[in-house]
């Protein structure tokens, strides 16, 4: 009786059935699998999370890449001198499900079996880090539009590139912005900062950036508290109590979206107040504003890109993106992905052939002068990572968000200190 059900099926059959069920669930969202052998086309592997915890960002980045590919193909493709003609771009897409091991495995798979000339992938530092060991192993250029941690690019890899500026610069720019508020007399000198950092390389580098600026500019701001927290936490009351007891004037956290929402809710409930608050790169996200309502007002964020940047190419991109996807680019995610694909196309054209090492060499020298990103010029650094300025955006009432720093890109004044209710 213990080994058979009332229907007479044995345990082993049920185990097998269960395994099939799991297999089906795991395999369904994986992607298109191996495509037909290439002919007159340029194959690009794309590995991004469309399911799992990073799905939203991955979806936006995929849309950015696919818009760039569509525009390239609509103009006839990429000119490859060796072939004497323009070739269309063929995307080979895989969903890594926000899983590090799967992400690395899929990059390896596309580099070894799909006949791709380059791979775009790795949204989030964690997934990008997992993928980054593959490019040099298979001598295939890899551009990450979503991994910003500098240490990925500091290991001497030769085929690794990234279109996100270092996280350290995010922290540095955040502190620099606060410094300008001190210069303007909006904030007093020598205010204390409390740092709550996600327990990842992203959080560590953000904190390092803030501390670096405060050390470079003594007398402006100083860090009075710094602690890491685990992502997807269920309760931040203990951490917030420590922040409160640190008597800091400014609260800077580096968090993912769900943690931003949970932490800010508990922050409000506990009746805390700081003159300025930031959650790193989170702030104007539409989902957060829906979840938190007016509580997001005056929170500021450091972003890699904003649709409000006053460049003509940004306005054009926003319109084209909306027409292509049916929704606005309400976060920074699609822009670095769009530019990553355009930089790759420019490098392939410059290389004049589909040789991966030649494309890698061309990527090192490629320069996009109409980049969407702050500064408008995309040029990879010696380590393969882009290093362009960040923009600081501050939420305002009625779902508005203004660029408040740097000055040449600003379309609104920074409100500091935050109004106290």
112 binding another protein? (CB under 8 A): no
- The answer to whether residue 83 forms part of the interface with another protein (CB under 8 A) is no
* 222: CB partners within 8 A, 6+ apart: 190, 191, 192, 193, 214
Pick the binder of another protein from 18, 139, 154, 357 (CB under 8 A). Answer: 18
Q: Is 11 in the site for another protein (CB under 8 A)?
A: yes
Size of the site for another protein (CB under 8 A): 63
Residues contacting residue 357 through CB under 8 Å, at least 6 positions apart: 139
In the region spanning residues 193 to 212, those forming contacts with another protein, defined by CB under 8 A, are 199
Shortest distance in whole angstroms from residue 65 CB to another protein: 17
From residue 344 to residue 383, what is the string marking binding to another protein with x (rule CB under 8 A)? ----------------------------------------
Residue 292 tokens read as 């938190």
Among 242, 350, 353, 396, binds another protein (CB under 8 A): 242
Buried b vs exposed e over 277-305: b needs ≥16 C-beta within 10 Å?
bbbbbbbbbeebbebbeebbbbbbbbbbb
CA angle 265, 269, 270 (to 5 degrees): 120
CB nearer to another protein: pick between 43 and 244 = 244
Angle value at C-alpha 327, between 318 and 390, nearest 5 degrees: 45
Tokens (6 digits) for 304: 């890699």
Distance CA 109, CA 66 (A): 21
Closest Cα partner for 284 from 412, 122, 164? 412
Binding mask 243-272 for another protein (x = CB under 8 A): --x-----------xx--xx--xx-xxxx-
> How far does Cα 174 stand from its chain's mean position?
17
E-assigned strands of 10-82? 42-48, 78-80
Exactly one of 228, 364, 379, 418 binds another protein (CB under 8 A); which one? 228
Report if residue 22 touches another protein, rule: CB under 8 A.
Answer: yes
| From candidates 41, 136, 227, 355, binder to another protein by CB under 8 A | 227
Residues that bind another protein (CB under 8 A): 1-7, 9-11, 14-15, 17-19, 21-22, 24-26, 28-29, 50-53, 55-56, 59, 98, 199, 227-230, 232-239, 241-242, 245, 257-258, 261-262, 265-266, 268-271, 287-288, 290-293, 295
């Amino acid at each position: 009786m213990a080994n058979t059900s009332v229907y007479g099926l044995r345990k082993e059959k049920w185990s097998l059935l269960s395994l099939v069920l799991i297999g089906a669930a795991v395999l369904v969202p994986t992607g298109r699998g191996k495509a037909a052998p290439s002919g007159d086309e340029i194959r690009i592997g794309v590995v991004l999370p469309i399911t799992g915890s990073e799905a939203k960002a991955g979806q936006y980045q995929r849309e950015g890449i696919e818009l760039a590919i569509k525009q390239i193909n609509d103009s006839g493709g990429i000119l490859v001198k060796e072939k004497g003609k323009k070739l269309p771009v063929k995307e080979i897409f895989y969903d890594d499900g926000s899983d590090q091991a799967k992400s690395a495995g899929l990059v390896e798979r596309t580099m070894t079996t799909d006949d791709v000339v380059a791979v775009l992938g790795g949204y989030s530092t964690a997934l990008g880090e997992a993928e980054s060991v593959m490019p040099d192993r298979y001598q295939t250029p890899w551009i990450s539009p979503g991994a910003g941690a500098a240490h990925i690019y500091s290991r001497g890899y030769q085929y690794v590139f990234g279109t996100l500026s270092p996280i350290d610069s995010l922290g540095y720019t955040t502190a620099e912005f606060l410094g300008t508020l001190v210069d303007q007399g909006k904030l007093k000198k020598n205010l204390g900062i409390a740092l709550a950092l996600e327990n990842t390389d992203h959080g560590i580098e953000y904190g390092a950036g803030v501390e670096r600026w405060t050390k470079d500019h003594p007398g402006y701001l100083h860090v009075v508290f710094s602690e890491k927290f685990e992502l997807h936490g269920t309760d931040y009351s203990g951490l917030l109590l420590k922040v409160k007891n640190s008597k800091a004037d400014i609260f800077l956290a580096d968090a993912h979206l769900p943690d931003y929402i949970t932490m800010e809710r508990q922050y409000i409930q506990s009746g805390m107040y700081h003159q300025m608050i930031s959650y790193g790169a989170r702030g104007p996200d539409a989902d957060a504003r829906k979840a938190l309502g007016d509580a997001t007002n005056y929170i500021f964020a450091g972003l890699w890109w904003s649709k409000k940047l006053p460049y003509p190419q940004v306005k054009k991109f926003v319109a084209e993106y909306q027409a292509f996807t049916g929704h606005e680019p309400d976060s920074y995610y699609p822009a670095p992905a769009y530019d990553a694909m355009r930089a790759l196309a420019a490098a392939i054209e410059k290389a004049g052939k589909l040789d991966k090492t030649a494309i890698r060499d061309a990527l090192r020298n490629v320069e996009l002068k109409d980049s969407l990103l702050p500064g408008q010029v995309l040029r990879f650094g010696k380590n393969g990572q882009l290093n362009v300025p960040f923009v600081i955006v501050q939420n305002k009432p009625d779902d508005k968000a203004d660029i408040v720093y740097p000055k040449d890109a600003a379309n609104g004044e920074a409100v500091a200190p935050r109004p106290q209710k």
